[in-house]
Amino acid sequence: MSVFSQLNSVIIERGAAYVVLIDPDRKNEDSINSRVELANNSGVDALFVGGSLMMDGNCTERVKQIKEVSNVPVIFFPGGVGQLNSYYDAMLFMSVISGRNPHYLIGEQVIAAPLVKVMGIETIPTGYILMDGGAGSTVEFVSGTRPIPMNRPDVAVAHALAGQYLGMNLIYLEAGSGAKEPVAPGVVKAVNDAVDVPLIVGGGIRSPETASETVKAGASIIVTGTIIEIHSNRMKELADAVHWKE
Ligand code: 1GP
């Protein structure tokens, strides 16, 4: 069964899926193993692995380590083609559709595509929409794109629809890692009402209450990174909040 089908089964059976983002960067060197082990036992449905900026050259080694320890699918959440390797079970084949920087709309993807083919990684076509979470996210700087203001659900809807019509299987509403404010429930609802594909929502989600509110607004997949870097033991309560059908 493909990783995408597995995620869809979780969404159908448990209401929504819970994903923990692990940044394979130097700062997490000592905590990766324990965090992945905890994820194995906390009802986490998948790991996203990636980050906008790597501060050393050991990313591949860390992804290998994550794959060795993980019991759940390890999905590449690409910060750039340099983080591509064959240890991932699948990847979000993403385009930053909220931006107008051709390199992140199609440039990185063209560089990555032949390598993905050779490595045989499952690709999940994903339209990535950066919303303004109020913290000036790293992805904003690295991608050279402007986030969509949070008070413009109409603009978010237009981008998400364009993504769906271009064939994206998932739409990712991103407030940016460490966002002050997560994607507003009103934005999630407006986009979910407009598109037929599942929504991933991440950035600034720090509590089960926010996770639950975001799912109720229409998110099918919730991603948390920062809160788990600070309090790994909160994975279980976040997973329980996301899995509302149980
Ligand atoms: C994944 O960028 C997010 O979409 C992760 O954000 O680190 O704020 O949880 P946090």
- For residue range 45-86, list pLDDT tens digits in order: 999 999 888 999 999 999 999 999 999 999 999 999 999 999
Residue 198 in this model has a pLDDT that exceeds 80: yes
Q: What is the pTM of this model?
A: 0.97
Q: How confident is the model at residue 136 (pLDDT cuts 50, 70, 90)?
A: confident
Distance CA 209, CA 124 (A): 28
Mean pLDDT score of the chain? 96
pLDDT digits (tens, 9 = 90+) for 155-178: 999 999 999 999 999 999 999 999
The domain limits of the chain are 3-242
Nearest alpha-carbon partner for 104 in 73, 75, 76, 145: 145
Instruction: Using a pLDDT cut of 70, give the percent of the chain over it.
Output: 100
pLDDT digits (tens, 9 = 90+) for 108-132: 999 999 999 999 999 999 999 999 9
Distance CA 67, CA 62 (A): 9
Q: How high is the pLDDT of residue 27?
A: 87
Residue 246 in this model has a pLDDT that exceeds 80: no
Average pLDDT over residues 220-229: 97
Q: Distance from the CA of 180 to the center of ligand 1, in angstroms?
A: 11
Residue matched to tokens 């690409």: 78
Site to probe by mutation for ligand 1, drawn from 23, 132, 143, 174 as the one with most ligand atoms within 8 Å of Cβ, is 174
Q: Which residues contact 27 (CB under 8 A, 6 or more apart)?
A: 55
Q: How high is the pLDDT of residue 28?
A: 86
> Are the CB atoms for 3 and 46 separated by under 8 Å?
yes
Q: What residues flank ligand 1, with Cβ below 6 Å? A: 21, 174, 176-179, 202-205, 223-227
Which value, in Å, is the radius of gyration of the alpha carbons in the chain?
16
3-state DSSP helix/strand/coil % of the chain, to nearest 5: 45, 20, 35
Q: Distance from the CA of 21 to the center of ligand 1, in angstroms?
A: 7
Residue of the CA atom closest to atom 1 of ligand 1: 202
> Are the CB atoms for 39 and 28 separated by under 8 Å?
no
Q: How high is the pLDDT of residue 164?
A: 98
Site to probe by mutation for ligand 1, drawn from 21, 44, 207 as the one with most ligand atoms within 8 Å of Cβ, is 21
Residue of the CA atom closest to atom 4 of ligand 1: 202
Nearest-atom index, ligand 1, CA of 137? 2
Q: Per CATH, which fold does 3-242 belong to?
A: TIM Barrel (3.20.20)
> Are the CB atoms for 43 and 72 separated by under 8 Å?
no
HSE-up of 122 (CA within 13 Å, CB side)? 14
Q: How high is the pLDDT of residue 53?
A: 87
Nearest-atom index, ligand 1, CA of 229? 7
Residue 137 burial (CB count, 10 A): 23
Residue matched to tokens 């600070």: 230
Residue matched to tokens 């809160």: 227
